[in-house]
Each structure stands twice: as C-alpha cells, then as structure tokens.
Amino acid sequence: MYKKNNTLLLYSIIYFAFLYIPVMLLPIFSFNDAIHMVFPLKGFTFKWYDQMIHSSRLHKALMNSIKVGLVASVFSTFIALLAAKAFTRYKVRFHQLSYGAILLPFVIPEIIIAVALIVIWTGMGFQLGLVPVTISHILFCTPFCLLILISRMEGFDKNLEEAAMDLGENAWGTFWRVTFPLVLPAVIASLLLSFVISFDEFILAFFLSSSDQTLPMYMWGQMRFPKKLPHVLALGAVIIVVTSLLVIISYWLRNLGNPSGKKSKIGGI
C-alpha cells in the first residue's frame, strides 16, 4: 500500500501555481479599468480590448507575424518530413552527424544564430526585413518538426510501405497513398507547433526584421509607454488562449489514429 504523500502534493500545487499564476494575471488585468498593474482591481472594462482592435500598427504586426509563421511552418515541416523519411527509411551516410546537425539549433543560443545571419545577410548585400526573419524561423523550427515527425515515422509498420510497393505502387505513390495519410496527424501537429514557435519568437525577429515589426516586437515596443500597457495585456491574454488551443490541438492530433494506441513519448513543447 502506498501512503498518500502530502509533501509531494504540496510540491505539485506550488509548482503549478508558480507556473501559471503570473500568466493568469495578464487576462485579469486586461479587464481592469486602470493603467497600472496593481491590486486592488478598479473596475471591469472592455476598453483595452477595444483599443487593441483599433490599433493599425498592431494589425500590421499581427499580419507580419502570421505571414512569417505560415511560411516558416510550411517550409520547416516540409524539410523535416523529408529528413524524417530519410532518417527512418534509408541508410543515411553520416546518419548521426547529419541528425545532430539538424537538431543543433535547439542548443545554439538564438542570439548567436541571429548575429551570424545578420552578418551573412547584410554581407551579401540584402535588405533586412521579413525574409531573413522567415528564413531564421525555418532554421529554428525544423528541429521541433523533425522530432515530431520522426517519432511518428518510427511508430508505424514499415511493412505497410513494402505492401504498397508490392501491390504495384512506385515510391511516389507509396508515399502519397500510405505514408502521408499515416503521418498526417503529425504533419498537422508539426505545422501548428512551428507556427506557434515562430509566432512568439522575439530575438531572431528583433535582429533581422529592421522596420517590419512582428507581434512580439510590437508588444515589446509598447511596453515602454505606461499608457499602452493595458492593451498589450489584452493582446497577451488573447495570444495565451489562442496558442494554448493550438498546442492542445497539435498534441491531440499527434496521437490521433496512432495505430499502436500508444501516446507519443516526446511531450508537447
């Protein structure tokens, strides 16, 4: 018999409180009728949300972030899908080395990547802007996508692909009729997750975007003006809800239709 361990329970409660209470303050103060983030709360208002909706600079930053996020997620998922296929299905030369090289952006500090890219990009005579931001996001998101897709590709029976070949399909037909439908949940999860990563990425965008602000940069810019703070809180609250939903959906999709019924071992990011 296990005894109930109250110490561990307490630890868990403190852990989650520490993790989520500061985040929860954002939505709370976003409805507070005051400029400063201090208790006690004044009164309930939607005016910060109203301000948020009517800020044209915010809209531009949001559109920039969405554009970058869409392109980055599609490209990094595509690259990762090809890499995952290669790593799980073929004898890749320098397997460990190339796998490690793709995952390296995980551990390289973003600021190093940012500095390196800014030097190369401007050195080649190109303008800073959303294009280098997107490229850097692809670089940064690909390892996440690769891990998601590899776990799915490894999880399904390779005989299924051989069966498709045996029944007359060539490599291309096998991929589209068997492999792709079976990894589709992971592909969608990879798209969502890389979109979210790109969407709230700050350092790379800060270095490489020049005057084309992304949403995190816009928020950072607004923080300097106390009067602008509340509508950033409102924006923050919306982002928390939307990204949480995306991550939950991606996690759910990743395990959906997993033939083994086992949950993926690598958790949500």
Task: Give the footprint of other proteins on this chain (CB under 8 A).
Answer: 157, 159-160, 162-170, 173, 177-178, 181-182, 257, 259
Q: How far is the CB of 89 from other proteins (least distance, A)?
A: 13
Q: CB of residue 160 vs other proteins: minimum separation in angstroms?
A: 5
224-248: string of b/e by CB count within 10 Å (b at 16+)?
eeeebbbbbbbbbbebeeebeebbe
Farthest-apart Cα atoms in the chain, separation: 71
Task: Name the minimum Å distance from CB 259 to other proteins.
Answer: 5
DSSP annotation of 176: I
For other proteins, give the closer residue by CB, 44 or 172.
172
Nearer Cβ to other proteins, position 109 or 173?
173
State the nearest-atom distance from the C-beta of 184 to other proteins, in Å: 9
Cis peptide before 259 (omega within 30 of 0): no
Q: With beta carbons less than 8 A apart as the criterion, state whether 207 and 214 touch.
A: no
Closest separation in Å from C-beta 144 to other proteins: 25
CB neighbourhood size of 7 (10 A) = 7
Q: What share of the chain is helix, strand, coil (3-state, %, to 5)?
A: 75, 0, 25
**For other proteins, which is the closer residue by CB, 164 or 197?**
164
Give whichever of 22 and 168 is closer to other proteins, judged by the CB atom. Answer: 168
Q: Which is nearer to other proteins, 50 or 157 (CB)?
A: 157
Nearest residue to 26 (alpha-carbon basis) of 243, 179, 253: 243
Residue 213 carries which side chain, given as an amino acid letter? Q
